[in-house]
Amino acid sequence: MSLGTYHSEIRDRLAEEVGTIFNDAPEKVALVYPSPYHVGMSSLGFQTLYREINSSPGRSAERVFLPDDVDAHRRAGLPLLSYESRRPAGDFQVLGLSVAFELELAGVVTSLELAGIPPLARERGDQHPFVLCGGPLTFSNPLPLAPFADAILMGEADQTIHDALNLLFSIPGRQARLEALAQIPSCFVPEIHGDQLPLGGKCSDELLPAYAVIRTPNTELRNMFLIEAERGCSRGCAYCVMRRSTNGGMRIVPMEKILSLIPPDATKVGLVGAAVSDHPKICDIIETLADRGVETSLSSLRPDRLNERFVAALRRAGHTALTTASDGASQRLRDTINRKTRDKHLHEAARLARAHGMKRLKLYMMVGLPEETDSDIDELIEFGIEISRIIPLSLGIAPFVSKRNTPLDGLPFSGINTVEARLAKLRKGVRGKVDVRATSARWAWVEYVLAQGGAAEGEALYRAVQAGGSFADYRRAFEALPTARKKRPLAIASL
């Protein structure tokens, strides 16, 4: 790849965007997403901060993404450029990084390296950009991010991003900035706070909903306008970091406000939230959009909320498959994690999907939950075959990873061999009848170590990325940690 090719790629993507903000303000922030463009532009939180920063007088945000081919980019010695002005990311005074989950920490390291900035905060001085982080990871455990961040905005940053930037652009000197940011109640400054995390920020209801400003065809959510229908979740699923997450539970955005913010020319709308199908007006919203000829997708769909009207509305809104989740392989496991779904809800979902002309039912679930045995997998096999007689069934499987700030915090990882054996048993049992797709058990283990870890695990990740970033590199880096630190995460890996 050449610099000219890199510029052309950015220009081509910008030319296909609707809603891009070109704002040549004096106070400039490089808003970095530590994954490629097609992933980052599907993030409502990232787009919301882009809109929020650009709405502040005298201030602008320019987007920065990991290259599609990092190795080619590095071999060519290219800088990491912003999209709006093609300015090197390392030339900005402030870098804001949004981190969604643990495995994106590798992208944080790579982004900083490509920007010519020391990834480790302790190696940066006044001459370097200030690295301010936040994102969904802060709802569970941002400690592995601490080695790379000068400061971390915990929880909802809709308002605190302005508070933090006001300080950063008015105070010179890294140390003075750290001390000032530490006074923001929801700002975690590792150099000052150590491993003592403050409570997450909670924005006022007046700032809801978050909504995207840019639509693009070059993303997983092609040309889709993203908007919150609600924030948080009032359900108490034991594994979920969003359970009763903000301001006591779910906050509903009024239907009228949602509809008023959707651009008249939008042909696709994504309703975003942890429990969108629990919105009391969800059918009315979908039907209204369908009447406009707008395709509508939901980020979360609970099977116990489905009925004739709901599924009919989804079909009118362009759904050709019904996607929901059961999470546990058996009813016993769903009960242990406080998941309210029952077999009858899933059978009814299959019936409704077929009755309304959908081609497939897709179910997401976890394998490797606490107390899971082969008999639970046997129940899933039997269930899958029963559903496949009603409608074609796809199972999306993720190994269970216990997260901080949940009732299941600290529970062990089932083991790579155990998870892979159960997946093999499942595939064999439903072969030819159910489509089974699973995420990697190995990388789930890496995610687990980071999810349960701290700054030491973050630095181990840094060494693994420097070594090449393969699974073997991560395994060696984690196993080199002192025994006292690795006992809980590593002893049950069953490699």
**What's the pTM value of the predicted model, to 2 decimals?**
0.93
**Is 154 a member of any domain?**
yes
447 part of a folded domain: no
Q: Which two tokens stand for residue 263?
A: 């651009």
pLDDT tens per residue across all 495 residues of the chain: 798 999 999 999 999 999 999 999 999 999 999 999 999 999 999 999 999 999 999 999 999 999 999 999 999 999 999 999 999 999 999 999 999 999 999 999 999 999 999 999 999 999 999 999 999 999 999 999 999 999 999 999 999 999 999 999 999 999 999 999 999 999 999 999 999 999 899 988 888 999 999 999 999 888 999 999 999 888 888 888 876 555 557 899 999 999 999 999 999 999 999 889 999 999 999 999 999 999 999 988 999 999 999 999 999 999 999 999 998 999 999 999 988 899 999 999 999 999 999 999 999 999 999 999 999 999 999 999 999 999 999 999 999 999 998 999 999 999 999 999 999 999 999 999 999 999 999 999 999 999 999 999 999 999 999 999 999 999 999 999 986 454 444 433 434
Amino acid occupying residue 40? G
Where residue 146 falls (left for φ over 0; alpha for ψ -120 to 50; beta otherwise) is: alpha
- Count the neighbouring beta carbons within 10 Å of the beta carbon of residue 271: 25
Q: Which of 28, 94, 18 is nearest to 62 (CA)?
A: 28
User: How many other CB atoms sit within 10 Å of the CB of residue 202?
Assistant: 19
Decide if 298 is inside a domain.
Answer: no
**CA atoms of 439 and 442, how far apart (whole Å):** 9
- 227 located within any domain: no
Instruction: Give me the domain span that covers residue 98.
Output: 3-193
Distance CA 119, CA 74 (A): 15
For position 187, which CATH number holds? 3.40.50.280
The two structure tokens encoding residue 99: 């981190």
Question: Which residues on neighbouring strands pair with residue 393, listed in sequence order?
Answer: 361, 434
> What is the tally of structural domains in the chain?
1
From the list 314, 408, 310, 299, the residue with the least C-alpha distance to 358 is 314
